[in-house]
């Protein structure tokens, strides 16, 4: 016979669940008064439209048709706030960032994948890690890494040249950008070589990282239910149950997680042993002890007990930083090559600037200070990262009820002007990074056009007055506040060195139509279904006459 206490607990639990579920339909909030599209599905809301591989027009339509503050529908009728209003973004990203935190499913998933690294920690825990990591990404360290970057890029150039030496040939540049970005992060970030570039790679860790994003995409959003899986299934049962799931993508995620954890631990142990053996042992390693991880480990050993990071968190940074740096930078480079192939005059102008800088350096590599000062190269990078956000899907979750002010009032569905919005606790907030970067009200009527020249003159006053909270170039591409991309300077240096080496040696043309696919990190494909990342281009050697 069921005890009265158990009956009471059961009744209370069911009542609580039903109230949580039906409350959204009974209690109306400011979000219900916002303009926005209708929901095509009670189960999925607008999420399938947001995540569709060809969702670019839908994302653009949201801003053009409904404005900068929009109500979207989530699963089972829940409200989602979509915004790119500058003042609202400032509060979400900076002023109230402790309220608008990473979604729970996102941090829990990354914790299980990589360990307690920078992407999976919150609050004081995150700030402590960031305090230790910030000096590692300083401009001074970037300057010392320049020779390592050039060494990797010269191998890339040799590999591509071998394929076009006898004449123009079709080369899958997104594949080469992925391999190069991984090797750059490996050598400069970890003091580890994933890929020789001039031969086929055989590194298990590198292959696991390359397969991670396609496998996550194959989960089709089901990773958002990971906290529910944690709540229901005891820790000791999770692995056996995961192995029994009849879904290849889920089982593949478990395999990749095991590889990343094992190899991250091995890399850490090798690095620690070299540090303890002294400077001579470090010099025998890739990067000669100048890589980010060697510097981080050395700083951690010298830190006070209060600031020191435990080994588990140091190991967690290895996969975390490599994953964060690889696909984003490689696809940003792919976007840039694609745009330059579409605009041969811009490609020729950039090549001329790079060749002149090389001549000024005696025909060798361009030094750090001269490279970062090249105006047109900088303009090409900024404009590409303005138009094309490598990681465009950025959600936050309100941890409490909070009032969100707006730059300009909006008219609600009831006809009244709204100067601020009460965002209820647990509301998902989608920040429209790409919409902010291409906001015609700020950037002008040509906001959707790729024009590097716009960065060679003062930016529009409206852009400056908007006070966009991004950490880079009045853009939201690298986010802002306490969770801004810690490696954006690292990424910028990668892009500029790769472009300087490639554009000075090769000419790039489009050989087939390319489709860009919306995902956690955007990627190109030849097939409009986006099943396989690829970007074939017609590549040829730059003629000697051009070099003069």
Q: Which of residues 218 and 339 earns the better pLDDT score? A: 339
Percentage with pLDDT > 90 across the chain: 68
Angle subtended by helix axes 311-342 and 375-387, to nearest 10? 100
* Choice between 415 and 10, residue whose per-residue pLDDT is larger: 415
Please tell me whether residue 416 adopts helix, strand or coil conformation: coil
Which has more confidence, 250 or 507?
A: 507
Average pLDDT over residues 151-166: 96
CATH code of the region 27-102+391-449: 3.30.43.20
Mean pLDDT confidence for 61-78: 94
pLDDT at residue 8 in the model? 58
Mean pLDDT within 355-363: 94
Which whole number is the average pLDDT over 179-202?
89
Which stretch of 91-105, 273-287, 357-371 has the lowest confidence by average pLDDT?
273-287
pLDDT, position 287: 56
When the pLDDT of each residue in the chain is averaged and rounded to a whole number, the result is 90
pLDDT in tens, 315-337: 999 999 999 889 899 999 999 99
Q: Is the pLDDT of residue 379 over 80?
A: yes
Average pLDDT over residues 79-98: 98
Output the pLDDT for position 497. 98
Give the pLDDT score at 545: 36
Q: Where are the domains of the chain?
A: 27-102+391-449, 130-388+481-541
Checking if the pLDDT of 37 tops 50, the result is yes
Whether residue 35 contacts residue 410, with contact meaning beta carbons closer than 8 Å, is answered with yes
Between 24 and 119, the more confident residue is 119
Contacts of 326 by beta carbon, 8 Å cutoff, 6+ apart: 178, 181, 182, 185, 209, 210
Measured in degrees and rounded to the nearest 5, phi and psi for residue 122 equal -130, 165
Q: What is the pLDDT of residues 402-437, one digit of tens each?
A: 999 999 999 999 999 999 999 999 999 999 999 999
Alpha helix segments (H runs only) across 284-419: 292-302, 311-342, 344-360, 368-372, 375-387
Sign of CA dihedral 351, 353, 356, 361: negative
User: CA dihedral defined by 185, 191, 192, 196, rounded to 10 degrees?
Assistant: 70
169-172, strands of its sheet edge to edge: 169-172, 536-541, 506-510
Lowest mean pLDDT among 7-11, 112-116, 232-236, 309-313: 7-11
Judge whether 361 is annotated as a binding position: no
Calculate the alpha carbon distances from 518 to 37, 316, 515 in Å: 20, 27, 10
Band of residue 278 on the pLDDT scale cut at 50, 70, 90: confident
Give which of 538, 548, 151 is closest to 337, Cα–Cα.
538
| Confidence grade of residue 141 (pLDDT, cut at 50, 70, 90) | confident
Contact yes or no for 56/406 (Cβ under 8 A): no
Helices (H), 190-304: 204-218, 226-232, 235-244, 248-277, 279-283, 292-302
Residues 6+ apart with CB under 8 A from 439: 63, 68, 84, 447
Answer yes or no: are the C-beta atoms of 88 and 468 closer than 8 Å.
no
Q: At the top level of CATH, which class does the domain 130-388+481-541 belong to? A: mainly alpha
pLDDT of res. 219: 78
Which pLDDT tens digit goes with each residue over 45-67? 999 899 888 999 999 999 999 99
Give the mean model confidence (pLDDT) for residues 250-273: 92
């Amino acid at each position: 016979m069921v005890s009265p206490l158990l009956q009471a607990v059961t009744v209370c639990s069911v009542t609580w669940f039903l109230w949580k579920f039906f409350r959204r339909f009974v209690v109306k909030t400011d979000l219900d008064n916002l303009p926005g599209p209708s929901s095509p599905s009670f189960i999925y809301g607008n999420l399938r439209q947001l995540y569709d591989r060809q969702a670019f027009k839908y994302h653009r339509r949201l801003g053009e048709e409904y404005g900068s503050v929009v109500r979207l529908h989530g699963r089972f009728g829940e409200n989602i706030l979509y915004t790119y209003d500058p003042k609202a973004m400032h509060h979400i990203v900076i002023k109230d960032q402790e309220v608008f935190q990473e979604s729970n499913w996102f941090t829990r998933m990354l914790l299980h994948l990589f360990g307690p690294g920078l992407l999976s920690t919150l609050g004081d825990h995150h700030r402590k890690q960031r305090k230790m990591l910030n000096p590692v990404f300083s401009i001074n360290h970037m300057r010392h890494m320049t020779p390592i970057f050039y060494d990797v890029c010269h191998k890339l150039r040799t590999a591509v040249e071998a394929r076009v030496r006898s004449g123009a040939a079709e080369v899958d540049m997104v594949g080469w950008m992925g391999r190069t970005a991984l090797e750059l992060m490996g050598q400069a970030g970890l003091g580890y070589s994933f890929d020789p570039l001039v031969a086929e790679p055989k590194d298990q860790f590198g292959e696991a990282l390359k397969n991670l994003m396609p496998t996550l995409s194959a989960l089709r959003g089901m990773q958002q239910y990971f906290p529910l899986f944690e709540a229901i299934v005891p820790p000791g049962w999770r692995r056996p149950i995961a192995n029994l799931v009849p879904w290849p993508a889920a089982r593949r995620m478990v395999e990749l997680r095991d590889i990343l954890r094992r190899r991250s631990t091995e890399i850490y142990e090798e690095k620690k042993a070299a540090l303890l053996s002294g400077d001579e042992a470090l010099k025998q390693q890739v990067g000669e002890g100048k890589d980010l991880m060697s510097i981080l480990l050395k700083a951690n050993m010298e830190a006070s007990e209060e600031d020191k990071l435990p080994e588990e968190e140091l190991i967690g940074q290895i996969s975390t930083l490599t994953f964060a740096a690889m696909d984003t930078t490689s696809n940003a480079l792919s976007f840039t090559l694609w745009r330059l192939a579409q605009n041969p005059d811009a490609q020729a102008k950039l090549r001329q600037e790079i060749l002149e800088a090389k001549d000024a350096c005696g025909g060798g590599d361009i030094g750090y200070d001269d490279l970062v000062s090249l105006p047109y190269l900088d303009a090409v990078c900024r404009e590409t990262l303005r138009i094309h956000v490598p990681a465009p899907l950025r959600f936050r979750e309100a941890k409490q009820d909070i009032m969100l002010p707006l730059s300009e009032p909006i008219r609600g569905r009831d006809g009244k002007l709204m100067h601020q919005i009460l965002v209820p606790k647990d509301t998902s907030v989608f920040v429209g990074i790409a919409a902010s970067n291409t906001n015609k009200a700020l950037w002008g009527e040509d906001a959707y056009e790729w024009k590097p020249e716009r960065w060679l003159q003062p930016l529009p006053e409206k852009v400056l007055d908007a006070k966009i909270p991004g950490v880079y170039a009045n853009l939201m591409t690298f986010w802002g506040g306490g969770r801004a991309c810690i490696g954006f300077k690292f990424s910028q240096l990668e892009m500029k060195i790769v472009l300087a080496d490639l554009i000075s040696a090769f000419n790039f043309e489009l050989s087939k139509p390319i489709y860009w696919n919306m995902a956690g990190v955007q990627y190109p494909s030849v097939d409009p279904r986006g099943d396989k990342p690829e970007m074939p281009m017609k590549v040829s050697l730059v003629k000697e006459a051009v070099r003069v």
